[in-house]
Structure formats: structure tokens, C-alpha cells
Amino acid sequence: MKIYKTNEIKNIALLGAKGSGKTTLAESMIYECGVIKRRGTIDAGNTVSDYFPVEKEYGYSVFSTVFNAEFNNKKLNIIDCPGADDFVGNAYTALGVTDIGLILVDAEYGVEVGTQNIFRTTEELHKPVIFAVNQMDAEKADFDNAIESIRESFGKKVVQIQYPLQSGPNFHSMIDVLLMKKYEWGPDGGVPTISEIPEEEMERARELNQILVEAAAENDENLMEKFFDQGSLTEDEMREGIRKGLIKRDIFPVVVLSAAKDMGVRRLMEFLGNVCPFVDDMPAPHTVSGEEVHPDASGPLSVFVFKTSVEPHIGEVSYFKVMSGTLKAGADLENVTRGGKERLAQIFTVCGQLRTPIDTLEAGDIGASVKLKDVRTGNTLDEKGCDYQFDFIKYPSPKFVRAIRPVNEADAEKLSGILTRMHAEDPTWIIEQSKELKQTLVKGQGEFHLRTLKWRIENNEKLPIVFEEQKIPYRETITKASRADYRHKKQSGGSGQFGEVHLIIEPYTEGMPEPDGYKFGSQEFKLKVRDKQEVPLDWGGKLVVYDCTVGGSIDARFIPAIVKGLMDRMEQGPLTGSYARDVRVMIYDGKMHPVDSNEISFRLAGRNAFSQAFREANPKILEPIYDVEVLTPDDTMGDIMSDLQGRRAIIMGTESEKGLSKILAKVPLKEMANYSTALSSLTGGRSSFSMKFASYELVPGDVQEKLLKEYAASHTDE
């Protein structure tokens, strides 16, 4: 294989909603390049992409696939990303190491929620975008509707490069308004017949060509001057203007094709090769220290590992981008992220499951290596003397959680190792050992995302597992002041245990005045603060403790033991065993014994006095509330809002966003356990949602009563 220079390489992310035809397009692209002699199909399960067993089982992409296409003396590195919203992490990874997003739009459905989500990701990462209206030959394909939905969603920057002469099963020709030519295909697609534009299409073609020329000229002052002087631009000048507009996200070109029939694919690849930005055209990435690193083949060698996977018959494969310098097979590099040294004995260019050994890869290129010692996704490997480190891939927050455990508890350690490896392959699978909930939690982007994890563990690793609902991390607090005292006394021969604590508790809020006196019934308590401790709690809120004792009733050396007792109950609240928060405690009296008093006695006395006072302080349970955003077509809004209200949601409002409706709501976490499944069922998979922690709020009285009964049934008081 030819060694490509940095200025001959283009890196492209292949994106689109589920079912838009990305895998089929990838197959046609490498067929056009001669990598394969015959195009596979998803139904036959023989495509270069989608080669993992779980992908064959489900019939669509689960993992991103890296492949390259050598076309017209240029190298196109393309990463084919799954379309399902559950696997959006792959798009974040791909866009992190590529320079442009090629977004497929289904000619039957136009812009879908998945298209909107993907475009928003490119916007967030400031990546250029080209739209390809695919499946033009589908029974209900409607190009006019598709292009209108693209314009409505993404604005005036959308500019047509091509349009079809017919949509639907009769699609076999199009007009290219950049080249001002007609393209026509036979039944098997492939190489087109190129001819002049028919007279009856010339007016429309010239109109679209003029719009394209103006859009290209707007991105370069010299081109703008020439356009004003001459009223036109050459093809090369238009390409240059489009390229500059792409880089600034000031132009979104639209092309048309049928990937399944290989119509328009070759022309698409020409367009990508001629118009897409090269690696060194794009803004340079920065290291974690803020240093700008240009893709310079003569610079210090630095390699960023953006994907790792365990692949059939091979083992662990590490996919990387050469960020700087020139990588040669056998290079010894230092893992600056994890420490240690790695030898890349073999390096490969990749085309799905096909790997071709290569001796050299220059800056900007993408490749792979196998069986490295200790490399994970996100690691940077540098030559000696280079200290670049990259961390530019940020993933979306999870929105579906399940507790996981092995069927056989003896397999717990084995499961832990598998989950660690799975997270390395897909960083959007987040594993958390929750001390609070006493569960191992697996977090992902949706039910299907986690179901895929379960399938792989049970089928590839032969380890039966169980998914359970996550316990809810409730909080406990109080709503009024109360007092209690408790004497801990234990005598069993010799020295015993003795400690007595009197305390007052009340709700804590930031900025409240210092305590000076309280009245309970006919009793008044005047307090003088001797000492104050503020304990910020890991789970939110505070415990504030005042030593208000007088006359040496409790020696100062026992106060820390009492605070430990209070913390025992803050960590396991008296109502449901949940964490407590936002309480302040005034220790105002107590008793000691000259022989029997010790730290454990006062710890237990403080713990039990606090429990008694807590129960009499009108205690309440708080539940986590999340801000939820649902993006959906207008016709499903009513059903979604009704469903949310059935989940105790408060609807905060609705907005319109690029042709879709956005519903904003605050919803208790307890009610979101199966929301992704319910939303998909309600809307036929046409909606998506995101959720972010907002606050803790009081649970309704009936919910609290139910929680107290459930806890009482499974626990007994000390």
C-alpha cells in the first residue's frame, strides 16, 4: 500500500439515524475502490462492517467500524458509526479523530430525531457537515420533502450540489450543479454515463448553480471580488470556496445517492476527495496542557488510541490516530497516560475486519495495532522526549441504569474483570460500585445499549448475569427542631461503658444565625457555643455540630466520638437507611463516669440520641429529581406529556427546535427506570431524551409512607 502524505489524507465520520444505510454505503465505497470484489448485504450478514457476533444477531451496527478508501490518489479514512441513539458514544469517538461528518438522510423520512441528535453533536464539536440523501430508490422516497426537512432543520447554510430527476424505484439519474452535468446509471449502478444537462432541466440547474456559486464565494474575499467582477467561478474556485465554508460550518452541501444500487457513490467519493478539508486544513487539536499540536510528519511522534476492541480470532485491537510525526512498525513508545512502554511491532491500515500490514503511517493517518501490553481507549503513546497527552473525546451522560450481578455470586470477581474490559471498549458503558446502594451499577445510553452488554457477557463470556432495577439514592432530612437524650450504660464485670448525651437538632440552611436558645413545651434551653464543626457531606449538604456543654458535663475529648456517632446515623438515616443531610446539632448537656466513660460509650449515646431526635423532628424523605428533555415530532407530543405526568413529572414548558418539539420536565429518578423503553414504544423510536440531575425534593406523603413500610418490613431497629 502507498504511504500517504498528511496533505493526501482525509478523515470522515459516516453518520446518520438508524436505518439510513451507512453500512450499505460503506460496502459500496470499498467496492468502488476495489478492496472487495462483491458487495455484501446486511440480510446476508457478510458486510465488511457489522462483523461482530452481536451485530449479526441484532441485524444492525453496534460498534463503529474503521475502513479506508484509496480513491484518485487520496486516502479517505472513514469511521462508520451506529445509527441507534443508544450507541451515540461511537459518534463522539469518531468525530474526535475525524475532520468532517457525512450525515446520511433517509429519502423516505427526511430529517429524523436521530439526525437532529447527530447534527447537534457535530455542532458541539465544531465539525463540518455534508448531507447525503440516501435510499433515493426506496418505494416512498421523496427528495423534495427530504431537502425541505433539511433546510427547515439546519437553515440557509444548506446548499444543494445535486438533485435527482426522479425519486423512488425509477431513480437512476441526477443533475450535478457543481459540475453542471447529468449522471445516469444502468440497473447495476457503478460507473455512470455523464452527459450534458437536458434543456428542460437547464433553468433549474442554473438557478441552483448560482446559489452554490454565491455560497462558495462568500467564504473567501478574493473569490467574492471575482464573483462580483465576472458573475461566476471556475470549478476549482468553487471547490476551494466550499472547502473553506465547510471548515467554518458556513455551508452544508447536499448530495444524493442510492448506496444499495451503487448509484452516486463514485461521485460522492470524488466530491469527498476534491472538496473535503485535508487533515492539515482543520484547526489543530490541543494537549491537556493547552499546547497546540499540528499534524506535522516531521514533528515528534505522538499516537492517540481512540478505540480498543476484542475481535474474533485476533484478540485485542487498538485503533489509533497519528497526531504528530511518522510512525514506523516496531516503534517503541511510552504510554504517557498509564505509564509503561509499548512496542508497536506491527501496524495496519484497516478496512472493517480486513487488515493490511504497513510499514509507515504519517501524521493525520489512522491505523491499528494488535496485542499491546497495557493500552486503553483514550491513551496517548509518545516517543521518548515527547510529552504530548490528549484527552479531547467527551462522552454524553448516561440515561439508563441497571444493577448487575452474576447468577452465581462466586463469579463476582470474574464479572468485575469483564465489565472493566467492556468499559475500555465502549467508554459510555459506565461501571460504578455503589457503597450507598450496595449494588454494582451499569450505566448506558438506553435499554438496548445495556441489553447488548448482557448479550455479550452471556454469549461471548459464557457468564449468566441478572439485571435488576437500581435502588434509588434517597436522602433523609428534618423539617423542625427537636431534642432528645440517651444514656448508654453497660456493666459486665470490671470496667463498664457509660455515656450520656443531651442534644437538640434542627434543619440546616446556609447563612442561618448561630443558635442561642430553644423552647420545647414549657422547657427553655439557653445555649452558649463553645465550639463549632462543619462537616461537608460527600453525598451533598452538611452536618453542623455545636459544642454547647457547660460545667464540664462532657469532657471535650469525647466530642469527636459523639460526632462519629452522629455521622453513623447521617450515613444510615433512621427512616430508610438512606443518607441524611442538612442537619445541625447542638450538644448541650450530658454525663460522664470517672471510670466507665470512653469513646465507644459516647459514640453509641450520640448515635441513639440523634436517632430519637430525628424521628421527632418531622423527618422527610428527599428524592432525586432530574431535568428531562424530550425531542420528538409534533404528532407525539400529547402522548409523551400524558406519560410524563403519569410519572409524577412537572412539565416546565415546550420549545420548538429545528422542526421538532422539545418538552422540558422535572421528573423523579424513581419514575425514569424504564423510560427509554416506554418512549421508544410510544413514538416508534422517533424520539430521544436526555436527563441531568437537578435537585433533591420532598417525596409526596403517600410515597414516603410506602417507603417507610418497605424499610420496616426488611429491617429492625437497633
Of 618, 641, 661, the domain-final residue: 618
Number of Cβ atoms within 10 Å of the Cβ of 67: 25
- Whole-number Å distance between alpha carbons of 528 and 550: 8
Which ranges of the chain have pLDDT less than 50?
717-718
CATH code (residue 521) = 3.30.230.10
The dihedrals phi and psi of 512, each to the nearest 5 degrees, come to -70, 150
- Asked whether residue 236 is assigned to any structural domain, the reply reads no
DSSP label at residue 228: H
Query: Based on the domain organization, do 154 and 171 belong to the same domain?
Result: yes
Residues 420 and 440 in one domain: yes
The answer to whether residues 499 and 463 belong to one domain is: no
Query: Which of 105, 120, 115, 681 lies closest to 448 in space, CA to CA?
Result: 681
Is the distance from CB of 37 to CB of 46 less than 8 angstroms? no
Please check whether residues 128 and 74 belong to one and the same domain: yes
Question: Nearest Cα to 59, choosing from 25, 33, 24, 98?
Answer: 24
Domain of 409, CATH number, reads 3.30.70.870
> Same domain, yes or no, for 433 and 376?
no
* DSSP code, position 408: S
Report the CATH number that the domain containing residue 258 is assigned in CATH.
Answer: 3.40.50.300
Residue 35 lies in a domain: yes
In this structure, the answer to whether residues 366 and 432 fall within a common structural domain is no
Whether residue 330 sits in one domain with residue 265: no
Domain encompassing residue 696: 621-704
Same domain for 28 and 132 = yes
Q: Based on the fold, state whether residues 75 and 156 are members of the same structural domain.
A: yes
> 638: domain CATH number?
3.30.70.240
Residues 176 and 120 in one domain: yes
CA 144 to chain centre: 33
Q: What is the pLDDT of residues 635-682, one digit of tens each?
A: 899 999 999 999 999 999 999 877 788 999 999 999 998 898 899 889
CB 651: neighbour CB atoms within 10 A?
Answer: 15
Q: What are phi and psi of 246, to 5 degrees?
A: -60, -50
For the question of whether the overall pTM of this predicted structure is more than 0.85, the answer is no
Q: What is the pLDDT of residue 49?
A: 67
The x, y and z cell numbers of residue 363, run together, are 501524521
Per the rule left: phi > 0, alpha: psi between -120 and 50, beta: everything else, 326 is: beta
Residue 559 lies in a domain: yes
How far apart CA 230 and CA 134 sit, in angstroms, is: 35
Which tens digits make up the pLDDT trace of 388-415? 999 988 888 888 899 999 999 999 999 9
Strand ranges inside 439-510, DSSP E: 439-444, 465-468, 475-477, 482-490, 497-507
Asked if residue 127 belongs to a domain, the reply is: yes
275 phi and psi angles, rounded to 5 deg: -115, -35
Beta partners for residue 335, in sequence order: 381
Over its C-alpha atoms, the chain yields an Rg (Å, rounded) of 32
DSSP assignment of 12-54? EEEEESTTS-HHHHHHHHHHHTTS-SS---TTTT--SS--SHH
Runs of H (alpha helix) within 537-634: 559-571, 599-615
Q: First-to-last CA distance in the chain? A: 74
Note whether 552 and 610 are same-domain residues.
yes
Provide the 8-state DSSP code for 141: -
Is residue 626 within 8 Å of 694, Cβ to Cβ?
yes
Distinct helix (H) and strand (E) counts, the chain = 16, 38
Has residue 294 been placed in a domain? no
State the CATH number of the domain containing residue 349. Answer: 2.40.30.10
DSSP state of 60: S
Residue 391, domain member (yes or no): no
Q: Per residue in 235-273, pLDDT tens?
A: 888 899 999 999 999 999 999 999 999 999 999 999 999
The Cβ-side half-sphere exposure at 335, using a 13 Å CA radius, reads: 18
Whether 102 and 130 have beta carbons less than 8 Å apart is answered as yes
All three cell numbers of 334, joined, read 511510552
| 95 in Cβ contact with 101 (< 8 Å) | yes
Are 486 and 500 in contact by the 8 Å Cβ rule? The answer is yes
The CA-based angle 447-423-342, given to 5 degrees, is 160
User: CA torsion angle for 413, 419, 425, 431 (degrees, to 10)?
Assistant: -130
pLDDT of residue 666: 97
In this structure, are residues 99 and 128 in contact, taking their beta carbons and an 8 Å threshold? yes
3-state SS, residue 107:
coil
Q: What total of structural domains would you count in the chain? A: 5
Pairing of strands 583-591, 482-490: unpaired
- Are both 497 and 523 inside the same structural domain? yes
395 is a domain residue: no
Structural domain includes residue 606: yes
- Residue 503 corresponds to which amino acid? L
